[in-house]
């Protein structure tokens, strides 16, 4: 099969097409012919080796973390899916590789594709959808009437997050530029901070939660807007010792995380809020929940641009440039 691979970590490491073996399936796996895959910041972070403390892969490595496609073969113990089923999903972290013509994936990690979406639209959902659902439902327990700040509202995660937060009844503030203003307003944002002209930390106060997609200074300033016992969920900040213990990374890695996150831990204590670093878990069951929301038109995918499979490298550069409004998708079939 054709697949896009890297042969080592590095910012300038080329992403190139290669012939790779079609993956074998286990008893609980399905083999999916991939029709479309979406790109996410985790893809270029993996490529550059920025997360190798947490995720260290063997080479050659096929990139790509979510997809949609059609089941072509099922394992002996698979009873949920059959050949011909249209599905979407996010593979487990040790089984990534959706920039390819086929993928073998555990049946628990996929769901039937929303019937009202194209393959390209469906491929844009799994990673951002699961990440946001787990942030809002499993960690924050976001309630009707609560106030949440969602950073970078016009980005791939933000466009989904605004819609889900509104569906859950929250009051949503978000940051955006002039170019993204109309988009985030149309998605339901209640308050929009133009980050080029305004400082969100000087405008917002008394918030229950922050969904951080940026890390760095934006994350640090977010502590200022929360009420006591508020919560921050970050997907771009630094993992802390609590994350290391939760993921059972061992004492050495947990100690390293404790050191690199010491500034965040200090802010957490000073502000009397709770900081969570989120590493999303694949879940076909949660994808099925999102499928229902999408088929009821509660949530709509937002796609910035679709690239042809042969232009996957260009698509990754486009995403990394940071100007995409919505998701970047690669059409494979």
**Per-residue pLDDT tens for 249-259?**
999 999 999 99
The 10s digit of each residue's pLDDT in 84-143 is: 999 999 999 999 999 999 999 999 999 999 999 999 999 999 999 999 999 999 999 999
Residue 72, sorted as left (phi over 0), alpha (psi -120 to 50) or beta, turns out to be alpha
Q: In this predicted structure, what is the pLDDT of residue 323? A: 87
Provide the β-strand partners of residue 176: 194
Q: In this predicted structure, what is the pLDDT of residue 56? A: 85
Nearest to 62 by CA among 30, 33, 20: 20
Residue 309 · residue 332 · CB < 8 Å: yes
User: 129-277 adopts what CATH topology?
Assistant: Rossmann fold (3.40.50)
Q: In this predicted structure, what is the pLDDT of residue 292? A: 98
Q: Which H helix or E strand runs over 4?
A: strand 2-6
Residues of the chain with CATH 3.90.180.10: 2-125+301-331
Residues of the chain with CATH 3.40.50.720: 129-277
Q: In this predicted structure, what is the pLDDT of residue 185? A: 97
Q: Tokens 């009397």 — which residue?
A: 272
Q: In this predicted structure, what is the pLDDT of residue 55? A: 87
CATH H superfamily, domain 2-125+301-331: Medium-chain alcohol dehydrogenases, catalytic domain (3.90.180.10)
CA atoms within 13 A on the CB side of 299: 30
Answer yes or no: pTM beyond 0.75: yes
CB atoms within 10 A of CB 264: 21
Residues in the chain where the model's pLDDT stays below 50:
none
């Amino acid at each position: 099969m054709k697949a896009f691979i890297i042969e080592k970590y590095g910012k300038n490491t080329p992403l190139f097409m290669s012939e790779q073996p079609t993956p074998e399936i286990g008893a609980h796996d399905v083999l999916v012919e991939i029709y479309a895959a979406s790109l996410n910041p985790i893809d270029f972070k993996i490529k550059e080796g920025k997360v190798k403390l947490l995720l260290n892969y063997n080479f050659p490595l096929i990139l790509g973390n979510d997809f949609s496609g059609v089941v072509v073969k099922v394992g002996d113990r698979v009873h949920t899916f059959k050949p011909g089923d249209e599905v979407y999903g996010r593979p487990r972290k040790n089984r990534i590789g959706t920039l390819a013509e086929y993928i073998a994936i555990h049946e628990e990690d996929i769901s039937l594709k929303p019937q009202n979406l194209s393959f390209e639209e469906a491929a844009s959902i799994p990673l951002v959808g699961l990440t946001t659902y787990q942030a809002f439902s499993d960690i924050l327990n976001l309630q009707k009437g609560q106030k949440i700040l969602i950073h970078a509202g016009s980005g791939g995660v933000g466009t989904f997050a605004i819609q889900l937060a509104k569906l859950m009844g929250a009051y949503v503030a978000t940051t955006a530029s002039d170019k993204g203003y109309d988009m985030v307003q149309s998605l339901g944002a209640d308050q929009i901070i133009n980050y080029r002209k305004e400082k969100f930390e000087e405008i917002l106060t008394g918030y229950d939660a922050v969904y951080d997609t940026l890390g760095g200074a934006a994350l640090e300033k977010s502590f200022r807007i929360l009420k006591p016992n508020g919560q921050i969920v970050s997907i771009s900040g630094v993992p802390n010792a609590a994350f290391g213990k939760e993921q059972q990374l061992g004492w050495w890695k947990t100690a390293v995380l404790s050191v690199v996150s010491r500034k965040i831990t200090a802010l957490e204590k000073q502000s009397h809020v709770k900081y969570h670093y989120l590493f999303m878990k694949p879940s076909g069951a949660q994808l099925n929940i999102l499928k229902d929301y999408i088929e009821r038109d509660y949530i709509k995918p937002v796609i910035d641009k679709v690239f042809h499979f042969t232009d996957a490298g260009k698509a990754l550069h486009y995403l990394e440039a940071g100007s995409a409004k919505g998701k970047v998708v690669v059409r494979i079939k």
